[in-house]
Structure 1
Amino acid sequence: MVKYKQDPSFLQPRFSGISTFMRLPHVQTLEDINVAVVGVPFDTAQTFRTGSRLGPQAIRNFSSLVRCSSYYHQINIFDYISAVDYGDIPVVPGNIQDTYHNMVETLGPMYEREIVPLVMGGDHSISLGELRAAAKHYGPVSLLHFDAHTDTVDSYFGQKYTHGTPFRRAVEEGLLDPSSSIQIGMRGSLNNICEYDESRDLGFEVITTEEIIEMKIPTLISKIKDRVKDKPVFLSFDVDFIDPAFAPGTGTPEVGGIYPREALQILRQLTDISFIGFDVVEVLPSYDHGNITAALAANVMFELMCLVALNKKKDSCNLQLLNKEVLNQ
């Protein structure tokens, strides 16, 4: 198996060379890989600030500083996974349905081979295209959703496909199993006092930021794992989950959010979950002072790659034990 992995910074300084995520090779291949980093630079469905079409570029630019080993997990991720920066999906500015079509055409074969796409947005509307592609192989999947907003509104300005509607559409299209899905971090003022209840009526479990703070992280992790169990899980991370003091570069900031430290603690404990895909969305560089939101997003993506590597490590250990048992019989 070819092992695609990070180009070590010792060959050239991190500020040089062509920007790819974590200095991974830019190779459009489905052979010998476990993870494909993919950009979806689409922001036509944003309803307030636009500009997240430049999010993938900003994340790639900062990610040259993200290294390959996790002290927390005590692993070098490329000991267990092979990954490439696949490049960007050919989006169609102003046409969300054609963009969804292109997403399914690109991501569908990845899911068929059980490659894990790690997608950089773009606005949150792109999650629907990802879920359409995933459902072709996995059927309805579970959603683990970190966000300040539920994104289950029925429509904005009469439009059914915006960054505030993808998960309602996904339920209606049979792409999600809401009974094993959970939304985390909701906060802020609402257009409709019943908004969280409407999401619950669709079948989602909803946990607000205030509830996270009250229950503490270990309890939250238990709730997540009890909810998704052993089902295939799609994780969607909107950077506005984080307090805008630490992630100002986003389209719809909401004050009073989680700190980056706590967010990383949560992500690192999401072990033993069957993740089939990820996205990190709503990075908006023009409001991102000092690239701190891009830095956050790049490090969130690294933590998600760690989860894939840990699952591969576990599979490898289980296979070794099985082979040992067979030899001893």
Structure 2
Amino acid sequence: MNSNFFQPVDAAAVPRFAGLSTFMRLPAVASAEGLDIALVGIPWDGGTTNRAGARHGPREIRNQSSLMRRVHHVSGTEPFSIANVADVGDLSVNPINLLDGLKRIEDGIAAIVAAGAIPLAAGGDHLTTLPVLRAIARDAPVGMIHFDAHSDTNDRYFGDNPYTHGTPFRRAIEEGLLDPKRVVQIGIRGSIYEPNEHDWAVAQGIRIIYMEEFVRRGAASVMEEARGIVGSGPTYVTFDIDCIDPSMAPGTGTPELGGFTTREAQEMVRLLDTVTIVGADVVEVAPPFDLGGMTALAGATMMFELLCVIAGSVAAGRVRPA
């Protein structure tokens, strides 16, 4: 263990149900200076078109993350021993003004990146990923591995509104933030508005792996292809909790039947261990629709899984903060 790295509160000294709520019981710090990985909340759901409530996601994910321990039981990774990680709090958001809200998120993530840390965020709805990408991909587009029930590449909503949680990746491609030929979407399913709803994404070069294909092939095969698509270049990972079946993650804005089990989701994220991850998020946890905290627990667990693979990459020198 590196004695200079922040450590979670010792559960033998303070029980896991006690103390202030932070991500994985890590210290809360005022800035990302000196961190390898910054855990950050984005309590904003200004792009939600259906069931609102993801603004409460970071708080409940923090609560459930007290159940995360220090060592990954499969890989043996000890993330807090090989990377300096802390909770940098929630970004200052504007719940009333959408454009100002997006700018505040971008500026907050840009400060984390400028400090030399990799952001691992808890949303918030999926529109929050757009300003995160604006901060991370200012100099060059990145690839993306996207776990979701929805492609989120729609163009407009309610007339001419370009910004919703169903449009972030169309905007990101238009703005040159994503290289669409290095984007793979996994778990897409559910009814759609138009027969050609996904045609634009496919035409840009995005690889869509529908849930039915995942069921036929399995996690190992799908993730081997995903790693090949993004290659060794900088890659963002975005995990929409609605990729998980609502029987296991009901607390989300747009649930779709027939999704991943939590075990399948964990397996896929573990197979990202060779990917150059420059940022990641877990989004769309909406506690008002949750049952017993199970969705927030799924979100906290996926954050821990992502943390372990990112910390492993940092320790191995495959990826360094900017």
Structure 2 counterpart of 1:98? 100
Structure 1 residue 291: Cα displacement: 0.5
| Alpha-carbon distance, 1:60 to partner | 0.5
Work out whether residues 34 and 115 of structure 2, in 8 Å CA contact, stay in contact via their aligned partners in 1: no
Q: Which letter maps to 2:315?
A: K
Q: Which has the higher mean CA deviation after the structures are superposed, 188-197 or 248-257?
A: 188-197
Partners of 2:314 and 2:81 lie apart in 1 by 10
Matched, 1:142 2:143: yes
- Please show how residues 123-142 of structure 1 align to structure 2 within 5 Å: 123-137=125-139, 139-142=140-143
Q: How many residues align?
A: 315
Q: How does 1:20-31 map to 2 (within 5 A)?
A: 20-31=22-33
**SS state of the match for residue 200, structure 1?**
helix
Q: Deviations over 1:200-220 (max 9, x none)?
A: 112211000110011111111
> Residues of 2 paired with 1:118 and 1:79: CA distance?
17
Amino acid of the structure 2 residue aligned with 1:191: Y
How many Å separate the matches in 2 of 1:131 and 1:75? Answer: 27
Q: Distance in 2 between matches of 1:77 and 1:259?
A: 24
1:230-309 aligned within 5 A: 230-309=232-311
The amino acid of 1:156's aligned partner reads Y
- In structure 2, C-alpha distance between the alignment counterparts of 1:143 and 1:75, rounded to whole Å: 24
Instruction: Give the SS at the match of 1:177.
Output: strand
User: Which residue number in structure 2 is paired with residue 327 of structure 1?
Assistant: none
Q: Contact 1:108 / 1:136 at 8 angstroms: preserved in 2?
A: no
Kindly provide the CA deviation profile for residues 27-59 of structure 1, in whole angstroms up to 9, marking residues without a partner as x: 022222111111111112111101111010110
* Structure 2: distance between partners of 1:105 and 1:47: 24
On the 8 A contact 1:59/1:298 being kept in 2, the answer is yes
Q: Which residue number corresponds to residue 161 of structure 1?
A: 163
Contact 2:33–2:117 (8 Å) recurs in 1: no
Q: Which has the larger radius of gyration?
A: 1
Q: Aligned-pair distance for 1:131?
A: 0.4
Q: 1:181 — aligned with what?
A: 183
Deviation at 1:109, TM superposition (A): 2.8
SS at match of 1:120: strand
- 2:72 equivalent in structure 1: 70
**Which residue is 1:202 aligned to?**
204
1:218 aligned residue: 220
Deviation at residue 286 of structure 1 after TM alignment: 1.1
Are residues 185 and 121 of structure 1, via their aligned partners in 2, closer, same or farther at CA, if it must alter by over 3 Å? same
| Contact 2:33 2:115 (C-alpha < 8 Å) held by counterparts | no
SS at match of 2:236: strand
Is 1:84–2:86 an aligned residue pair? Answer: yes
Equivalent residue number for residue 55 of structure 2: 53
Q: Which residue of 2 aligns with 1:319?
A: none
What is the deviation of 1:90?
A: 0.8
How many angstroms does 1:225 deviate by? 0.9
TM-score, structure 2 normalization = 0.95
The residue that corresponds to 1:16 in the other structure is 18
Please give the alpha-carbon distance, in whole angstroms, between the structure 2 residues aligned to 1:32 and 1:114: 7
Letter in structure 1 aligned against 2:297: A
Give the Å deviation of 1:113.
Answer: 4.2
Q: Is the 8 A contact 2:272 2:309 kept in 1?
A: yes
Q: In 2, are the aligned partners of 1:114 and 1:276 still within 8 Å (CA)?
A: no
Shift of 1:75: 2.1
Task: Structure 2: state its 5+ residue gaps.
Answer: none
Amino acid corresponding to residue 286 of structure 1 in structure 2 = P
* 2:152 corresponding residue in structure 1: 151
Opposite residue 140 of structure 1, the aligned amino acid is P
Give the letter for the 2:128 counterpart. Answer: I
